[in-house]
Chain A
Amino acid sequence: MIPRQVVVAGYGMAGARLAEEILKRDEERGHIALTILGEEPHISYNRVLLSGVVAGTMKPENVMLHGEEWREKVRLGMSVTGIDRGARKVTLSDGSTIGYDVLVLATGSRAWIPSVDGLRPQAPGVHTFRTLDDCAGIIAAARPGAPVAVLGGGLLGVEAARGLVARGCQVTVVHPVGHLMERQLDEAAGRVLAARLSTLGVEVRINAKVVGYAPGDGLELDDGLVPADMVVVTAGVKPETELATAAGLAVDRGILVDDCLRTSDPRIHAIGDCAQHPGTTAGLVQSAWEQAEVLADLLTGANVAKRYRGTPVVTRLKARDVDLAALGDVHADVHTPGAEVLCLNDPTRGRYTKLVIREDRVAGAIMIGAPDAAATITQLYDSRVPVPSDRLAVLLGRALPTAATPAGSPAELPASAVVCRCNSVTKAQLVTAWRSGATDVRGLASATRATTGCGSCRDAVCGIAEWLSDKT
């Protein structure tokens, strides 16, 4: 059988995962001839961990997704520059062409730079934060004590700011909107986050109107200057759709795909940041990886019934000492009809939890400084399990103590309480034994076997013996 030519344009997190999943399914069958094109010179790396690289907890060599042997499997430093859909060929950056039976666009997205006077990607002191090379540039320029501005207070901006503070920089987050991470947080949560960052040494300027950038000086706002030796631009990303647009594929914000991850040309698929599927928000690795798995099933024939139905979005900040999770609809408030909304706001201690419940299921939540609640509520959200009726326990992320566990005094302990688990000995049995003459721990042990297993009930048995002695 002649193998089908599958060309994957892009070797980022989506493309790399797709390649792996295809090879895993097709390894022994050899039905697919795979060509992977990677624009960057590096083996694919884990973009999610780049904030760790900036923070210094991770070294670049530790974030690689593949081993060196992948240099043989991927054409690194090569990208697609044009698609000829009629001839089913792509042109590469070196001018050569290759034919395809299936083309997968996994071209990702690129950093978006707002139009501000003087702010250009190549301008001195300006860094985007998307690639490993960007990280290297930021680390090289991040001198302890030096002022740094982070332009854009979304998820990435907050992570970058936290990392740069850890490197000793004086960081100001400049955010044009009224609160941080406004896509994921409500206003009160944004304030708690800002307060939390400020205790860590990050200054936050919200509602900031940036009017210019002066290399060496900093960002000029309409109400003054934010001094900065370096500006890290984290103002958002833009899906890489130029190829698709030029080839006449249907493109909105991203390349439109259906549940089979097909574009408007059924021979061409798109996954990851460059794709736009109705069920998901672009820019998240989880959706990219799920898409890669579904597409690998379809392209290799491993499971042709597989479909991608979207990925529920859970935003999880990865910044040391800031525990933040947000999911679903977070903008409902206590007055919203049909929604049950619980909220705990403790800005002084950097805590904020909000839980939005509709029809007994988690519809949205924000959890700052509440790691247990974040874990529990995310699971309830993903599994669609009804929210336990003890809503307060859910909001706190811990079951509240019910009945008094080992009672304070032997007198309060109910007669049926098991004192020695190892030998199923109840308080009542100990009392009976005591009344029959076993008036010390040794006697109680030989009469009832209490304390003779793991011995951890010794104190409790002593307490009961003393209590009984005192009573008489």
Chain B
Amino acid sequence: MAETHCPYCALQCAMTLDGAQVTPREFPTNRGGLCQKGWTSGALLTSPVRLTTPLVHGRPASWDTALDFVAGQIERIQREHGRDGMAIFGGGGLTNEKAYALGKFARVALRTSQIDYNGRFCMSSAAAAGNKAFGVDRGLPFPVADLGDADLILLVGANPAETMPPFMQHIKAGLVVVDPRRTATAERATLHLRPAPGTDLALALGILHSAFSEGYAEHDYIECRTQGFQDAWRIAAAWWPERVERVTGVSATDQRAVARMLAEAKNAYILTARGTEQHASGTDTVSAWINLALALGLPGKPGSGYGCLTGQGNGQGGREHGQKADQLPGYRRIDDPAARAHVGKVWGVDPSSLPGPGRSAYELLDALGRPQGPKGLLVFGSNPVVSAPRATHVTERLQALDLLVVADFVPNETTALADVVLPVTQWAEEEGTLTNLEGRVLHRRPALQPPSGVRSDLEVLRELAIRLGTPAKMFPTIAEEVFDELAKASEGGIADYSGITYARLRDGEALHWPVPDRRHPGTPRLFTDRFGHPDGRARFVPVDHKGPAEPPDDDFPLMATTGRVLAHYQSGAQTRRIDELVAAVPESYVEVHPDTAGLAGLADGDMAEIESRRGKVSARVRYVASMRPDTVFLPFHFPGENSANRLTNPALDPTSRMPEFKVCAVRLLHGGME
């Protein structure tokens, strides 16, 4: 029996594992609840498809053979193409220890700048906007349980009833949902605003305009705790609700109603998620929602605030400790000389030997195998063939590599392309920490022995490092040792873990970072006195609406938006292996307004083809009368010709480098044969 947490989303529901048998456990985040994914998560621990032997070019090999081959190829590639000839692609589900070790491995063993991870496709826009506004990016700067006392929660582009169901227990009073679709979450809302895809920023400006002109702005708060309101207002002033209505389709009346509801609530929260963040203007869009929260005086006010609902299991911790192209541990910038000096000292290397910032996730994938791009790639905890935008193109780039190495525990669409597959341990077979959506560091205990033949990611990194001539002691394989080093490396950084120890976590202390020393009780609530900028003030960021990067036109007259379903997680590599979840949602589908489907000659249940400028997919038609007639929806968990990301547009946000997953122009055709 071991107390642990679910391997999937950022809510990190508490559970007890007895062998592979799951029972839910009482915890402040999930309050004893589990969704179907959590309940069935044990199934993968005993799955017959489990990878247990390294594969070299598809053939089983010994670990030594595989690792020797990989190290040899890395040396050859870096000799011929330089340090940046090798790249690493990580994941937001990796533990803090793995994320940290991966970043260190890139900078110290490979000495490449080319490392990024799939979290770039997740909450990077919210992270960038949070840093701009508050000087700190912590998904929720308050405990999840605080939401229970709110009178009103505005959820923007979030569908927790589907993506983190037990979270819904924290929503007890008024709920306003902003989503182009009538989702399971929207069905529970007091008010559902349905903007056209890609117009959220304009909506935020319209609500800010309404709030200000109706006299709801908190002038004392704006005066004392913020900077830059006038510049932000001047843009919002040009977005009066009637103008916003024309762009978004959300009535001026509803915009004013939301402004009033937020202002009249004693405690109110604005929470964003992928729907509003995964845009080429995602950072600005989140800034617009934060501006609204600031104008109403919410952030830092007890019982109110702004937050981002992080998606992946370790989406928060995964972005803090160095697997991001521009970061060092502790949420430090890699181009900050002081940060380099500090981390160089902890690692025992000359700071000048540390590489600078590298390419962001999509740019990295796009550069693979090109003359100036990396020739080799190591993938840990990610399945970019399914989860990256413009998936067909990304697949071609992966195929163009001299060396593709994938460490994973079940075969997936990316391991299928790999030269070398390394079978590694999964959640319940290893120890580690994760940082949940509220910045609380959680300890996962090992619950069962890994099958023979698999090694932990930490062991893989150590073995490769040794073969590449790096001292073995730089890459410990005991998670607690890695954590202690991580804690030192993060000391004094924004995400300061230096006061956290495994002993404190094992004792059940609720430690939200920053925890700057061992007696520090942690920081469940940020911003109560000051924000993270040197002057302690939050910043309004002046942002304007631009609209989708690829608006519909005569050739591609519809907008496609993508998202998740309850039964599956991310690329589906894990959940598509679990019978009960496959039974719940066996195949890809496309939600379409019946009239829109009818015009394409498609009946409910027919196979449709959906085509964008980048590719074509097939999916079964679901008539959904509440869909906007100009929009179709596809879940992105499915591979091959059902992969929604064959359609998506890799137009990138200038700040966060987030691709525009949430809107692209498509056309709908009859799929022909059944």
Contact = CB atoms under 8 A, between A and B. Distances in A.
B245 A375 contact: yes
Contact of B36 (A49, A385, A422): A422
Interface residues of A, number: 46
Contact of A386 (B233, B567, B595): B595
Nearest to A379: B249
B265 interface: no
Interface string A374-406: 111011101101101110000001010010000
Interface in B198-244: 212-215, 230-231, 233-234, 237-238, 240, 242-243
A46 B33 contact: no
B347 interface: no
B335 interface: no
Nearest to A370: B251
B35 interface: yes
Q: Chain A: interface secondary structure?
A: loop
Interface in B443-478: none
Nearest to B245: A375
Given A62-B212, A316-B245, A423 B253 contact: no
Given A57-B215, A386-B599, A423-B35, A456 B168 contact: yes
Interface stretch (A83-91, A269-277, A447-455): A447-455
Given A62-B237, A67-B231, A383 B630 contact: yes
A378 B166 contact: no
Given A63-B237, A389-B595, A456-B168, A422 B33 contact: yes
A65 interface: yes
Name, among B215, B246, B252, B599, the residue most crowded by chain A CB atoms within 10 Å (CB to CB).
B246
Given A57-B213, A423-B39, A388 B629 contact: yes
Contacts of B169: 454-455
Contact of A388 (B33, B254, B557, B593): B593
Contact of A453 (B34, B243, B593): B34
Nearest to B246: A378
Nearest to A384: B557
A421 B184 contact: yes
Nearest to A418: B584
B238 A65 contact: yes
A65 B237 contact: yes
A58 B251 contact: no
Contacts of B196: 379
B252 A424 contact: no
A383 B593 CA distance: 16
Interface string A344-388: 000000000000000000000000000110111011101101101
A399 B628 CA distance: 10
Interface string B157-191: 00001100111110000000000000010001000
Given A375-B250, A424-B567, A449-B36, A318 B240 contact: yes
B252 A323 contact: yes
A67 B234 contact: yes
Contacts of A227: none
A422 B213 contact: no
B166 A374 contact: no
Interface string B10-24: 000000000000001
B65 interface: no
Contact of A452 (B33, B557, B584): B33
Contacts of B234: 64-67
A52 interface: yes
B626 interface: yes
A314 interface: yes
Interface string A446-467: 0001001111100000000000
A141 interface: no
B161 A46 contact: no
Contact of A422 (B165, B251, B552, B626): B165
B626 A454 contact: no
Contacts of B161: 421, 454
Name, among A62, A371, A372, A375, the residue most crowded by chain B CB atoms within 10 Å (CB to CB).
A375
Contacts of B593: 388
A449 B39 contact: yes
Q: Chain B: interface secondary structure?
A: helix
B625 interface: yes
A62 B598 CA distance: 48
Nearest to A318: B242
A57 B566 CA distance: 45
A286 interface: yes
A421 B35 CA distance: 9
Contacts of B599: 386
B341 to A, nearest CB: 34
B15 to A, nearest CB: 11
Contacts of A116: none
Interface in B594-648: 594-595, 598-599, 625-626, 629-630
Given A67-B231, A286-B243, A454 B168 contact: yes
Given A378-B249, A453-B36, A455-B33, A49 B231 contact: no
A281 to B, nearest CB: 15
Nearest to B233: A62
A177 B23 CA distance: 75
Contact of B237 (A49, A314, A325, A379): A49
B246 A371 contact: no
A383 B33 CA distance: 43
B249 A424 contact: no
A67 B230 contact: yes
Interface in B346-383: none
A46 B242 CA distance: 14
Given A455-B169, A456-B168, A456-B188, A374 B251 contact: yes
Contacts of A67: 230-231, 234
B630 A323 contact: no
Nearest to B168: A454
A320 to B, nearest CB: 9
B184 A46 contact: no
Contacts of A383: 552, 630
Interface string B369-403: 00000000000000000000000000000000000
A269 to B, nearest CB: 22
Contacts of A449: 34, 36, 39
A48 interface: yes
A422 B24 CA distance: 14
Contacts of A57: 213-215
B235 to A, nearest CB: 10
Interface in B13-55: 24, 32-36, 39
A295 B216 CA distance: 38
B586 to A, nearest CB: 12
B545 to A, nearest CB: 12
Contacts of A58: 213
A374 B626 contact: no
Nearest to A398: B626
Name, among B162, B242, B245, B566, the residue most crowded by chain A CB atoms within 10 Å (CB to CB).
B242
Interface string A183-200: 000000000000000000
A399 B181 CA distance: 13
Interface string B549-579: 0001000010000000011000000000000
B245 A378 contact: yes
Nearest to B628: A379
Interface of B: 24, 32-36, 39, 161-162, 165-169, 184, 188, 196, 212-215, 230-231, 233-234, 237-238, 240, 242-243, 245-246, 248-254, 552, 557, 566-567, 583-584, 593-595, 598-599, 625-626, 629-630
Report the 5 A-B pairs with minimum CB-CB distance, sorted nearest first: A371-B253, A454-B168, A375-B251, A316-B242, A371-B251
17 contacts: A57-B213, A57-B214, A64-B237, A67-B231, A286-B246, A325-B242, A380-B629, A385-B557, A385-B629, A385-B630, A421-B161, A422-B36, A423-B36, A424-B567, A452-B32, A453-B166, A454-B166
Given A382-B246, A424-B566, 6 more contacts: A374-B251, A386-B599, A421-B162, A422-B166, A424-B583, A454-B35
